[in-house]
């Protein structure tokens, strides 16, 4: 029983943050696209897709490389799909049956969440270094502090902030996972569960200190919750701005 608890703790601790944020970002993006289209029309969708889609596909692509999958074909952006609907881009890949590559199925599926959030934070490092330092000096997760830090008076008065926001909104609005992304992640997540059960068995059998695992999971979740929260803030801002502009249009 102790092995099962520890194995589940490890797996949920590693997978749960991406499941929760993946669905939340997807739900928000479905609404943000409608608002953006209603407020700013097709040009806004083209701009966000032109920036965000290649980043989304790069998330899949780099995970394919890291987990040694063979990349068969990559379409970074299909402009016609913005207006006609359909797939905006894709990465086709194949693998052997090695354990490492099977685990890779999960990380390839969620690659856009990981890589997209890392790129957004990297952009903040270049464009808003004070904000970057403040966020990564946090001792505990605090969403209110994140929002206040990003939307400080100093930032709002700096043109680099608005460049950052355009890029962050474009990237985060394409971080949501498609149905194939989610389906392709299932098998890798199951393999990861079995690996974690094996790790749990070793820890319990050898009576090793599980505080190491607890510390790892805490740090892992703290980092990714912070990264993904910045993406969610960007999506929420796009919804707010689009609604304000819609209100202005109605009045005028």
How high does pLDDT run on average in the chain? 84
Digit-coded pLDDT (tens) for 104-120 = 888 898 899 889 988 98
| Residue 55 domain-assigned (yes or no) | yes
| Residue 36 domain-assigned (yes or no) | yes
Contact, 232 vs 29, CB < 8 A? Answer: no
Structural domain boundaries, residue 47: 2-245
Looking at residue 69, its pLDDT comes to: 93
| Residue 252 domain-assigned (yes or no) | no
User: Between these two residues, 123 and 203, which has the higher pLDDT value?
Assistant: 123
> Can you tell me the distance from the alpha carbon of 176 to that of 148, in angstroms, rounded to the nearest whole number?
25
User: Between these two residues, 66 and 181, which has the higher pLDDT value?
Assistant: 66
Q: How many CB atoms lie within 10 A of CB 54?
A: 19
β partners of residue 75 = 90
Q: Which residues, in sequence order, are CB contacts of 224 under 8 Å at separation 6+?
A: 17, 18, 21, 114, 117
| Residue 216 domain-assigned (yes or no) | yes
| Residue 194 domain-assigned (yes or no) | yes
Give the number of domains in the chain.
Answer: 1
| Residue 250 domain-assigned (yes or no) | no
User: Between these two residues, 159 and 178, which has the higher pLDDT value?
Assistant: 159
| Residue 157 domain-assigned (yes or no) | yes
Is pLDDT above 80 for 178? no
Q: In Å, how far are 36, 62, 153, 160, 165 from 156, measured between CA atoms?
A: 21, 33, 5, 9, 10
Q: Which residues, in sequence order, are CB contacts of 206 under 8 Å at separation 6+?
A: none
Tokens coding 67: 């987990």
| Residue 251 domain-assigned (yes or no) | no
pTM for this structure? 0.83
* Average of per-residue pLDDT across 75-81: 87
pLDDT band at 66 (very low <50, low <70, confident <90, very high): very high
Residue 169's φ and ψ, nearest 5 degrees, are -65, -45
Digit-coded pLDDT (tens) for 163-175 = 988 898 889 888 8
């Amino acid at each position: 029983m102790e092995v099962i608890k520890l194995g589940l703790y490890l797996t949920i601790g590693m997978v749960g943050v991406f499941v929760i944020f993946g669905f939340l970002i997807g739900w928000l993006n479905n609404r943000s696209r409608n608002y953006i289209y209603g407020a700013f029309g097709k040009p806004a969708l083209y701009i966000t897709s032109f920036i965000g889609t290649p980043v989304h596909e790069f998330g899949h692509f780099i995970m394919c490389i890291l987990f040694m999958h063979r990349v068969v074909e990559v379409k970074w952006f299909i402009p016609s799909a913005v207006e006609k609907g359909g797939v905006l881009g894709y990465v086709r890949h194949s693998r052997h049956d090695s354990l490492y590559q099977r685990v890779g199925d999960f990380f390839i599926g969620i690659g856009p969440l990981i890589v997209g959030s890392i790129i957004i934070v990297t952009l903040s490092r270049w464009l808003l270094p004070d904000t970057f330092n403040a966020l990564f000096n946090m001792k505990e997760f605090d969403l209110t502090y994140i929002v206040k830090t990003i939307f400080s008076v100093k930032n709002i008065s700096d043109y680099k902030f608005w460049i950052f926001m355009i890029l962050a909104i474009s990237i985060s609005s394409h971080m949501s996972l498609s149905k194939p992304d989610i389906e392709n992640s299932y098998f890798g997540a199951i393999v990861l569960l079995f690996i974690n059960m094996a790790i749990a068995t070793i820890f319990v059998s050898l009576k090793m200190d599980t505080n190491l695992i607890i510390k790892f999971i805490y740090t892992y979740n703290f980092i990714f919750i912070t990264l993904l929260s910045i993406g969610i803030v960007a999506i929420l801002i796009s919804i707010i701005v689009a609604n304000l502009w819609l209100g202005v249009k109605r009045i005028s």
